[in-house]
Amino acid sequence: LLSYFVKDNTISNTVRFIIILAIIILLVFQVVRNKKLSFSYKKSRVNKYN
């Protein structure tokens, strides 16, 4: 029973790690996308004024 609990605990830890990793990747992706959008937006505004 104890070994099963330990095994179950490692599985839950792995799942938690994967979920946290996925969240971090999503956040980074959002930030990069926002930066690209704002950069292209600024560039188009500069082109309009020139």
Domain map of the chain by residue range?
A: 1-50
At residue 29, the pLDDT reads: 93
At residue 19, the pLDDT reads: 95
At residue 47, the pLDDT reads: 67
Q: What is the pLDDT of residues 1-50, one digit of tens each?
A: 567 766 778 888 899 999 999 999 999 999 998 888 777 766 766 666 65
At residue 50, the pLDDT reads: 53
User: CA angle, 27 as apex, 25 and 30 as ends, to 5°?
Assistant: 110
At residue 3, the pLDDT reads: 72
At residue 27, the pLDDT reads: 96
CA distances from 3 to 11, 13, 49 (A): 12, 15, 69
